[in-house]
Structures are given as structure tokens and as C-alpha cells.
Structure 1
Amino acid sequence: MHRLFMKLVVPHSRALLLGVVAFCVLFFVLGAPPALAQETAFEQFGTATTLPTDNIAVIVARVIRVALTLVGIIFVCLVIYAGFLYLLARGEPDPIKKAKKIFQQSIIGLFIIFSAYSITTFILNRLLDAAFTGTSSAIADAFSEPLSGSLGGGILDDHYPERDAQDIARNTRIFVSFKEAIDPESIASNYDGNTDTVDYLNTDSIIIYPTEDGPGGALTEEEVVVTYDEDFEIFVFDPVDYLGSSEEDTNYTVILTTSIQKDDGSSAFSGAYSSGYSWTFEVSTEIDLTPPYVTSVVPQQDATEPRNITIEINFSEAMDPVATTGSYIASEESYFTNIEVFDALGVNVEGTFEISNAYRTISFTTTDACGEDPCGDTIYCLPTNQAIEAFAHAATLNEDEIPQAEPAGYTFDGVVDAASNSLDGDNDGDACGSATDTIDCADGEENDDYSWNFTTTDDIEDSVPQIIDGGLDPGIEEDEINQTNDIEITFNTYLKSSTVKTHSVSLWPDPYYESWFAIRKSNDDTNERTTVLIEHPTFVSTDLGGWDYWPVLTNDIKSAYQICMYPAIGPGANCTEGRDAERPYCCNGIASSSACQSDQQELDGLDEELPDNSETEL
């Protein structure tokens, strides 16, 4: 047997090997069972075009694949057959000639099959691109806004004026808020760390120009003064001359270029947003001389509140973020006094003022740690059982016919709006400034400050904020929604404004295309409920197949008492499975038809007082 094998097989092993290899290649490339093969272009084409399985296009694609597979197997069999003829010819010329002819024809056939398969795959892949990738490109062209994704999804938290804003006053200033500290040298051309000197615009990083004129008509360095907050996250750009014209409205464009750097030297714009950011707004022919006023405060006048309440001031319009934010911490020689909080002895309460909500809301958080919320984050408290008084100071005015705030050195010595109008503390329509200027207040007061009082207790409020029933608009998995309306999420309590920002609330299209979002909030008349608003560009229309959009809320959202939104409470939380229209709630990862009252009741039942600096979890 061994001699027969050596005589018949070994001399012709090359032909046998070629036949076996050809068979294996054809089997695994063309004829692999579905369990072993990945989804091919044929299946992808059917999936991407959403054609049903009995659609003629998908059927034809499958027939082509099956036919190519069968023909390929036939030619492989012919190659093997030719090999056996050659093996059994035993040197006789005619059988050898026949075997070679079959072998040659089979190889040519295999080449044709491979070519046909490659050409067919190429064509179907192009159809796939047209059906799927091409659609995404078309969507991006029609609905995305180039250089916009950094707002919300990237490094930018907010800016003023807003995207496509209209009727902006000529004497406006421009605000930009970043999510991380920025190297001020990349924003201000002559930055040296000295707040006694005036900083001017770095035009390599920030380009401001009338849209019609193009970047060639941009404001020069000396035409824009730059100020910034103590953390180098918020920058204010103040044009030396009024923008626009007194005769016609003027569109302006602002470009934030890739020359802007974080404080660690890396680029502020990276990844999907590495090309920078730009937006436009329309400047009117008018000058804004109307002073801002306070619309509401938390706590309200004469209220009695638990000591972990956050102090907030809501204004009638966007306020200068550098003039309204900062810290009063004596040990760090940080003495921000444009807004102040005093205890019963008239001593400044140490803490930090932050701005949010389209630059309309100021939040004050103390430095006195007094516990943790359910998410493990620190709670900070005001002095216990004391009468607290809060002040928002008006700024010193100049002596113009209609006085406006006068910068006191680096910035203003009081609260001002985006057009340098000082606070109108009594909301009588006229700003009479601070006690240090020469403007007399009509009511005989020395200044136009705003102040109010409230009292703290020794309690800590630990109720967990949650979305109310019917508080999602649009609802979960709702179809054919309005393309332009803000997304609204209503909570059962007042939320701390500085926690309702793009780090805690976001919006993502799926599949992704470059899209921006901005976060706002509104409160009911009694400040007992907050509605979170997500502003966004126009959604993809249903006529084009619609698009999935994913609003995301994290437990960084906190109530006015600094208690986090508990992740397992409320509609649409992260259930692993089973959530549907009849069970829209997610309680500890399990779908439920009702809100997670058991969790809320459990948390409400923890009424043990937390001592100062306690690490006890609520």
C-alpha cells in the first residue's frame, strides 16, 4: 500500500494540493454556512435599505450569492476531478492531455467566478454606501451646522450672544464659557498676569467680524478688550467701539480657532471637534440703555430654610460673568464683593458665586462641608440658625447723559449686564449706581443695590429630585415630534442652576452628525419646580426617515439643597431590559409601571441629622 501511495500520489501531489486549496478557498469565501460567515454586502444592503426579506432586490442579491457559490463548487470539483484523471493516467498521453485541459478550463472558470464575485460585491457595496453612508452624508449636509459641535458636546459650555440671536444691542459684549481652564495667553495677546493692565484680543485665536466683510474685516487686537474669571474658564470680549451700524442691522461671525489652548498646553479643540467653533448673530441699530433687575431669589424674602439651601439670584437678562462670579475666601486672599452673603453678625460667609442658565442665574455655595448626598458628593451649609442677608451691589456709574457702569480697574465694582448697564435694584426703570458715584437715586437711597433676608435652621433637607409624571416632553420613544421645540424635563423641586449645564445634561443624535446643544432652565412662579430645557438645531424630519435623539441626564443634577438626582428614580432611567410603553420607569434597574416611590420613601425616611463634616450617606 505504501509503495502504491508513493507511486501514484507523491508524483502528483502538487495537483492534489492545488485542488484541495481551491476547494477550501471557495468553500469559506463563497459557500461558508451562515453560522460561520459574517454578514456580507448582500445582507448589509438589505439591512441598510430596510427592505423586507421578500423584497425583489434582496432576493436577487441572495440568488446571485447562491449561484456564485454553486458554480464555484462545481469548478472546484472539476479541479479535483482533473487531478484524479492525471493521477490515474500513469503516464499515458491522452488521459494526461484530457486532465490538463479540464484543469486549465477549471482554473479559468474559477478566475471568472472570483472576478464575478468581486465585481458583484463592489457594486453592492456602492449600493450600501448610497443606502447608508450616503444617507448620513446627506443628513449631515442638510441638518448639521459645521463648526458647531463643540457647544455642549465639546469644550464649550455656553456663549453670548446665542447662536443665530437677533436684535442684539450694538454696545454688547461677547461671553464665552469653557468647560476647562484655558491658557489666557492664547486668548489675550499681551497677557502678563497683572490685572492692573488692559488685555487685548489675540486675533490668532478669536476672530470677530461682520459676516458680509469676511475674516479680512475682523476687529484688530486693540479694538477688543479681554477680561476673564478667576478660573480662566469664562472670557469676556468687549469691543472698544460699538458693533454694527445705526442705519441697518449687521450680522457678525465669531470664530474660535484651534490656536486656543487649555492651561496644560494642549489644544482646546480635539477629536470630532478639532477644527474649532464658529457662530453668527445679528446686531440691531439700537444701543441698550435698559438696566437689568432681579426677577426672583432663592430662598425667598423672609423664608426659613434648612442650612444646606443654595442661594440663587435670577436676573432679567444676561449678566457680565466676570462682574458676577468669584469667591470670597479670606485664607486665599480672594475677596469678590460684587455679590455678598452675611451672617447674623455681619461677617462675610465664605463661598463661591457661579453663573449659568444663559448667564442669567447666579448660584452661591459655601465652603462649609456638612455631609454627603446619596451620590457621595459633598454638601455645603450656611451658618446654622441664623438670619442671613444677601446683597447684589450696583456698579459705579459714569457721568454720561444716560449713565452706564464705569469699569473700576480690571472690571466693574458691581453687577452689570452684557451692555454695561448697572443693576436696577428696586426695578424702577432707572439705575442710580453705587454709593460712591454722584448719581442720586429717586427714592432717596444711597445706591441701587438689591438685598433680601432669610433664616436658616439646623436641619438638612435630603429629598431626592426626580422627574415628575408626564414631565418629559417629548415622551419616551415618542415619534414625529416638533423639529424645533426645546426638549423639556420637569422636576418635582427647584434645581441648583449651576448643576444644570452641559456636563450633566446632553443631547446626542444617532447616528451621529455634528450638532450642538445648550442647556437652560425655567422655574414656576413659586420656585417649587424647575423645567430643564435643551436647545438644539432643527431635528431631522420624518420625511427623511427621522432620526433617533438621546437626551441624557446624569446624577450631577442637584436640587437647591445639593441632593443629586438619584439614578434609579424617574422615567427612562437605565434599565437593562424590559422597559416599554407600559413600564416606562426604571427602579433599581427593573422596569416598572409606576414611579419608584419605594426608593423615595426610603430616602425620605432617613431623617437623622448630619453633623458638620460628617461622611454619613443620606
Structure 2
Amino acid sequence: MFKKKTALKFLLALVLLVGGFLFVQNVFAQDIAGMDIVNENIALSADDPRIIAARIIRIALGFLGIIAVCIVLYGGFLWMTSAGNEETIGKAKKVLINGLIGLIIILMAFGITQFVLNSLLGRVGGGAGGGGGSPLIGRYSGALGNGIIESHYPPRGGTGIPRNTKIIVTFKEKMLLESLVNNYNDNGTPDNIADDVVTKNDNGTPGNPADDWMEINSENVRIFKSSEGELGTERVPNYLSSSQVRVSFTADLKNFVFDPIPLLGSPTENIWYTTALKPGIEKSNGDNAFAGAFRDGYAWDFEVSTIIDVTPPQVVSVIPRKDSVNPRNIKVQINFNEAMDPTTVSGSTFGEEALRFNNVLTTDALDREVAGTWSIGNQYKTIEFVTNDKCGTNSCGGDVYCLPGDETISVLAIAARLGSSPPEAEMPYDGIVDVCGNSLDGNSNGRAEGQSLEGRSAIGGDNYSWLFKTNDTIDLVPPTISAVTPMPETESVAFAVPVELTFSKLMSITSFTTSNISFQDNQRDECAVWFFLDGDNLQADGAPVRGSDDIAIRTKARVSHENLLPTGGVCSDDRPVEGPLAMDGEGSLVYYFPVANSDVQDLFQNCFYRPIGPADGQTCVVGRDGNLPADCEPWR
């Protein structure tokens, strides 16, 4: 009787242990960090082959666990039916012991497999956590700066993002609209949007086309909670559908604004979101936007807070300053205190009337509009205006454009018409708004009051205006670099410290692009890290300009980049490992360095000429040994 009780206890303990193992196996067989489970329809085209292999191994271990249960049950059966026969009991013990040893081996193998699988999931965009933990996206990051992506909002790893934010992506080239907008037909002329046809969402009011809007192509642009991933179990999409996201774009086909209709996040907890740009996105010429080392696309994550942004944007500073007298080839610059919706602050003021940008008006003393183009940069906080009146050539042979000479110039930035819940603007926007759709607070009183009561283009209300003068001179003095940090040969530099370039003059901040100031390496795409540009106008004491009373005399460019790893990192196709002096997979030195080219311009459109390069002005390439060729010149 005692032996039977002992056998029952031993058998019960083993069954509980094996049952616990199978329960854990079942839990981990669910969708982990948003990756699809392997079931009877293995989607080999959707996932990384290594992850699929790891999942197959894990499921195989599950079957081995079932076999272990059968062995344990068989051993228990022998013991229970032994009727006190010592030989049978001995055989049963051997079966149970062997089953237990096998089970331990299976558990160890499962633990190792699970660790490897979780590591792989984390590397390709997984990661779980309460409220949507931040995923570790590395493989899909190099296209920012080094690839097709110029900038985006919210920023990578951004926190405290309002729930009513829009998601903005700026590409370096014109994009094929049908790859980003649902049901879009460019009529065979991808660069001409005047003859395009698009089936819009009627917003539930089929008889009122005024409130219709374009839908996102959710096959190529996916917005989802990071903890849930793109696809759940049974391959059910977790990302926002086409009908849940409005999309708009600038006329140059480079800036795209994705506006989620349901508010992101939660009123009670912070939640991480991921935006994934898929390989199906194409340039306007039909080429793949993501190619080579960036062929898998681009993705980034940001944390959405519990708040809704109801603070209207304000103008921080302008150039030229109010009532100042300036050379006529100066650009007009407006700096905002937060990121702005690019579709409301940039565009050309000439061309086809339906496509003209008229949210910022530049006029002469006779109220005649000056034709030109407003561009956006500085992570969507700065816009600049240049005319289309050619008046000279800079030192690099580039064209210089001028405002009317000996004139009083007026600039009027128009606030958007308010909606039913100010400061939110009414859609479609007819004035300037920020990335949350709040109308401009032009008089800086903390409230959005909309346009002037005397008319949309009249002075007053929250329309922002100022006057300055031009003379008949043209400034053709090129800028130089007056300071660089970190300094060359500096040791023990923090891995995430930005590279800063301070120029001798006021610069065109919209010329601070990742094509003009780059963060390169001698291995090129294979070891590319993400990076982006922004800048500040500085006062005489080096402090940033933060108000209209501050006088700006020079500009600083800032290159923010991915964390760099110390010497000895491994560079691979799967995960570019960054290092100022890292080793690639073949043991070759990977050397990173900033390069500014002659497309960087000051506010008078003068180029920064030959900052680093041989006599013909071409950019030098650092060799695999980390050294510059003998004919290269240092930074000026």
C-alpha cells in the first residue's frame, strides 16, 4: 500500500511537471511580440527564415514533450499494476527515470530555443511590455539618412507624444502616390498630380465631397501597437486599416502626412507604437524606394502619452528681422516652437492655381505677391522662402535668386480657420497648423483665435506678419565652418553624442539635409546607421535664438545618430553594428565620419565650398585604413 502511495505521488509530480511544461509551450506558441505563429500554413514569405526555423524546432520540442508524457504514463501504469512484483517495479522505475532524464533534456533544449527565438524577435522588430514596450528595431533603421528617408515625426524613440499626433514622413525623392495612397491613379503621369484620379473616403456623407479624404495604403504603411505587432494569431492584422488613416502630401511628392482617425494610445497609460514602411513603396519613376542594404524597408517606434495636445503653435523668430535692411538675395526664414504640418507651410506660390501654396504671402510695397517657393526643414520646425527671380551666381556656379531690390517686403503667415473644438482647425485646412492640427497662435497670447475678422489674408487675429527692407546689394561671401564638435582625434566620446558644425554666417537651415551633411562610413550601406539633421540660429554669445528680440549672427548644424558601439563591433547584413572604430564581419576597420558638401548654403544662397575634398571639389572617401587620401584638405 505504501509503495502504491509513493508511486501515485511520484506519478502526480511528474504529470504536473510535464503538464506545466506543455502549458508554457502552449503560451509561448502564441504570437510573441506580434510575430506570426507557425501553424499548418507556414508563411515563409512573411518572416525571417531563422525565426521560422526556431519556431519549427520549438514545436518539435512540444511533440517530444507529449512523448515524454506517454513514457511517464507508461512507467506509472507498470508501477501501479505491478502487484508488488519487484522486477516489474524495477522496470517501472527505470522507465520513469529515463522519462525524467529525457524531460529535463527537452526542457533545457526548449529554454535555449526560446532564448534564441526571443533574441531574433527583438532584433527584427519585436518586444513586449506593459502598455506596449518599446521594440528593438535595428535592422530597419539605416534608411533614415543613409537611404530614402530624410526625416519623420514622431522621432525615433520619441516619448510624451500626444494622442492626436499625425505621423509625417519625408522622402528624399518624389514618390509614387499609389504606393502610399489607397485607390490612387496617377493617370500615367506620376509627376503631374493635376490629372490624377483618386477614390476618396466620403466620411459618411456621400453627398458632401468637401469633407472627403484620401486613405492610406495600409499594405505599405502600417501603424500598430508595438507590443501587438503587425499581425496577430491567425494572421489577423493589428495595424490601422486604410479607412482609419487620412493621408495628405505636398505638391513635390516628398512629404506625406498620415493622420490616424481614432486617437492613438489610451487616456490611462502610455503605449508604444510602431510605424513600418514596407518594401512595396516605390519612387515616382517606378523604382523600389528601399533597395540594397535597405531592402527590408524602414520602421521606428515612439511612445504615445495619455494627453491630447491643445496648445497652438507659435512663431519663435524670423529672418530678416522686423524693420531690418538686407541684401536682396536673402531668404525669408520662419522658425516655429514645434513641428508643423508640412502640407500647410510649404509649397510654390506660382504655377497652376489649384496647386498654388497661399498660406504664407510675401508681397512688396504695392501689395504685389512675390513668386517663389516655401520649403520645410529642421525636423518640421523651420520654413524658408526663396524667389524664382534669378539675379546672380554663387562661388560654386549655382543660381542665386533675389527679392525685389530697394523695397519694403511684407510677410503674412495665415492661421487656419478654427473648428468646433479650438485650437483644433477646421478641415480641410486653409491655413497653418501644427502636427496635431492646432491652428497658429500668431499673436502669442496662448490661445488660437483663427484668422483676422477682416478677412483671411488681412493683418489681425492670429495671422502673423512683419515688414523688412531690401537694398540693391547682393551678398556673395561664402560661409565657413568656425567650430566642430567632437573635435578630430577626440577620445572617449559618448556613443550617442551628436556631431555639431558651427558656421560663420546665418545658414539656410532647410539646406541641412542628410544628402548635404552626411554621416558616412568607409563600408557604406553595409554598416549604415540612422541619422538626421536639425539646427539652431545662435546669438553672439553662442546661445540659441529663442525669441524675436534675440539677434542671430550664425547657425549651428546638428547631426544626431544611432548609438555607436566601441571598437570591435561586428557589421553584418542582418544588423549593421555601428562604431567609430568598429570591425566588420571580415575584421576590416569601419570608420565613421561627417561630410558637408557644397549644397549646404547660407541664407544668401552662397555654397559652403569644398569643406573636405581634393582640388576638383569632389568629396573625399576615407579608406579602409581610416585615412584620407593625400590630396584631401581638412575642414575649413
Give TM class, smaller chain: 0.5 to 0.7
Aligned to 1:449: 463
Aligned to 2:439: 422
Does residue 552 (structure 1) correspond to residue 595 (structure 2)? The answer is yes
The structural deviation recorded for 1:144 is: 8.8
State the TM-score, normalizing by the size of structure 2.
Answer: 0.65
| 2:159 partner SS | strand
**Which of 499, 523, 535 lines up with 2:511 in the alignment?**
499
Does residue 397 (structure 1) correspond to residue 409 (structure 2)? The answer is no
Does residue 566 (structure 1) correspond to residue 566 (structure 2)? The answer is no
Amino acid at match of 2:240: L
Does the 8 Å contact 2:375/2:385 carry over to 1? yes
The equivalences for 1:455-470 within 5 A come to 455-468=469-482
**Which of 551, 555, 563 lines up with 1:530 in the alignment?**
555
In 1, Cα distance between equivalents of 2:281 and 2:183: 15
In 2, Cα distance between equivalents of 1:283 and 1:456: 45
In 2, Cα distance between equivalents of 1:567 and 1:446: 46
After superposition, the Cα gap between the structure-2 partners of 1:235 and 1:576, relative to the gap in structure 1 and judged at 3 Å, is closer
Aligned to 1:44: none
In 1, Cα distance between equivalents of 2:620 and 2:304: 49
After superposition, the Cα gap between the structure-2 partners of 1:356 and 1:445, relative to the gap in structure 1 and judged at 3 Å, is closer
In 2, Cα distance between equivalents of 1:359 and 1:571: 34
Q: State the superposition RMSD in angstroms.
A: 3.2
Greater C-alpha Rg? 1
After superposition, the Cα gap between the structure-2 partners of 1:570 and 1:149, relative to the gap in structure 1 and judged at 3 Å, is closer
Does residue 164 (structure 1) correspond to residue 160 (structure 2)? The answer is no
The structural deviation recorded for 1:203 is: 0.9
Does the 8 Å contact 2:612/2:620 carry over to 1? no
| 1:165 partner SS | coil
Amino acid at match of 1:555: S
Does residue 406 (structure 1) correspond to residue 406 (structure 2)? The answer is no
Amino acid at match of 2:451: S
**Which of 221, 226, 230 lines up with 1:211 in the alignment?**
226
The structural deviation recorded for 1:202 is: 0.6
In 2, Cα distance between equivalents of 1:503 and 1:184: 23
| 1:488 partner SS | strand
The structural deviation recorded for 1:284 is: 0.1
Does the 8 Å contact 2:596/2:612 carry over to 1? no
Does the 8 Å contact 1:160/1:176 carry over to 2? yes
After superposition, the Cα gap between the structure-2 partners of 1:563 and 1:576, relative to the gap in structure 1 and judged at 3 Å, is closer
**Which of 316, 323, 346 lines up with 1:302 in the alignment?**
323
**Which of 534, 554, 565 lines up with 1:540 in the alignment?**
565
After superposition, the Cα gap between the structure-2 partners of 1:231 and 1:324, relative to the gap in structure 1 and judged at 3 Å, is same
In 2, Cα distance between equivalents of 1:291 and 1:248: 24
In 2, Cα distance between equivalents of 1:590 and 1:248: 54
Does residue 472 (structure 1) correspond to residue 493 (structure 2)? The answer is no
Does residue 519 (structure 1) correspond to residue 530 (structure 2)? The answer is no
Consecutive unaligned residues in structure 2, runs of 5 or more: 1-122, 125-135, 186-195, 199-209, 231-236, 539-544, 546-550, 570-578, 583-590, 622-626
After superposition, the Cα gap between the structure-2 partners of 1:392 and 1:575, relative to the gap in structure 1 and judged at 3 Å, is closer
| 1:291 partner SS | coil
Aligned to 2:306: 285
Aligned to 2:363: 342
Does the 8 Å contact 2:508/2:603 carry over to 1? yes
Does residue 378 (structure 1) correspond to residue 437 (structure 2)? The answer is no
Amino acid at match of 2:217: N
The equivalences for 1:166-185 within 5 A come to 166-185=159-178
The structural deviation recorded for 1:282 is: 0.4
The structural deviation recorded for 1:276 is: 0.5
In 1, Cα distance between equivalents of 2:226 and 2:425: 29
The structural deviation recorded for 1:566 is: 1.5
In 1, Cα distance between equivalents of 2:354 and 2:243: 32
Number of residue pairs matched by the alignment: 440
Aligned to 1:118: none
Does residue 273 (structure 1) correspond to residue 285 (structure 2)? The answer is no
In 2, Cα distance between equivalents of 1:222 and 1:264: 27
After superposition, the Cα gap between the structure-2 partners of 1:343 and 1:260, relative to the gap in structure 1 and judged at 3 Å, is same
Amino acid at match of 2:214: D
Amino acid at match of 2:369: N
After superposition, the Cα gap between the structure-2 partners of 1:337 and 1:476, relative to the gap in structure 1 and judged at 3 Å, is same
Identity, in percent, stands at: 37
**Which of 402, 408, 411 lines up with 1:387 in the alignment?**
408
Superposed CA deviations along residues 417-470 of structure 1, whole A, max 9, x for unmatched, are: 00111111111111101136999xxxx9852011111000110001111101xx
Amino acid at match of 2:520: W
The equivalences for 1:186-225 within 5 A come to 186-192=179-185, 193=196, 197-215=212-230, 216-225=237-246
Does the 8 Å contact 2:595/2:612 carry over to 1? no
In 2, Cα distance between equivalents of 1:159 and 1:477: 32
In 1, Cα distance between equivalents of 2:323 and 2:613: 33
| 2:184 partner SS | coil
After superposition, the Cα gap between the structure-2 partners of 1:248 and 1:155, relative to the gap in structure 1 and judged at 3 Å, is same
In 2, Cα distance between equivalents of 1:497 and 1:146: 30
| 1:222 partner SS | helix
Does the 8 Å contact 2:423/2:447 carry over to 1? no
Q: Greater helix share, 1 or 2?
A: 1
Aligned to 1:603: none
| 1:168 partner SS | coil
Aligned to 2:542: none
After superposition, the Cα gap between the structure-2 partners of 1:268 and 1:566, relative to the gap in structure 1 and judged at 3 Å, is same
Superposed CA deviations along residues 230-282 of structure 1, whole A, max 9, x for unmatched, are: 01111000011110100100100011001111111111111111110000000
| 2:272 partner SS | strand
State the TM-score, normalizing by the size of structure 1.
Answer: 0.67
Superposed CA deviations along residues 141-180 of structure 1, whole A, max 9, x for unmatched, are: 9x99211111101111000001000000000000000011
After superposition, the Cα gap between the structure-2 partners of 1:457 and 1:281, relative to the gap in structure 1 and judged at 3 Å, is same
In 2, Cα distance between equivalents of 1:445 and 1:574: 48
Consecutive unaligned residues in structure 1, runs of 5 or more: 1-139, 578-583, 597-618
Superposed CA deviations along residues 449-501 of structure 1, whole A, max 9, x for unmatched, are: 11111000110001111101xx1101123222111111111101111122111
In 1, Cα distance between equivalents of 2:302 and 2:535: 22
Q: Which stretch has the larger CA shift, 515-524 or 501-510?
A: 501-510
| 1:329 partner SS | coil
| 2:510 partner SS | helix
In 1, Cα distance between equivalents of 2:376 and 2:502: 21
After superposition, the Cα gap between the structure-2 partners of 1:536 and 1:543, relative to the gap in structure 1 and judged at 3 Å, is same
The structural deviation recorded for 1:403 is: 3.6
Does the 8 Å contact 1:395/1:405 carry over to 2? yes
Aligned to 1:148: 141
In 1, Cα distance between equivalents of 2:619 and 2:442: 48
In 2, Cα distance between equivalents of 1:473 and 1:203: 42
After superposition, the Cα gap between the structure-2 partners of 1:528 and 1:168, relative to the gap in structure 1 and judged at 3 Å, is same
After superposition, the Cα gap between the structure-2 partners of 1:417 and 1:477, relative to the gap in structure 1 and judged at 3 Å, is same
Aligned to 1:105: none
